A and B are shown apart, each in its own frame.
Chain A
Amino acid sequence: GESVGLHLPTLSVQEGDNSIINCAYSNSASDYFIWYKQESGKGPQFIIDIRSNMDKRQGQRVTVLLNKTVKHLSLQIAATQPGDSAVYFCAELGGGADGLTFGKGTHLIIQP
Chain B
Amino acid sequence: LAKTTQPISMDSYEGQEVNITCSHNNIATNDYITWYQQFPSQGPRFIIQGYKTKVTNEVASLFIPADRKSSTLSLPRVSLSDTAVYYCLVGEVNQGGKLIFGQGTELSVKP
Q: Do A and B come from one complex?
A: no
The interface of chain A, by Cβ under 8 A from chain B, is none
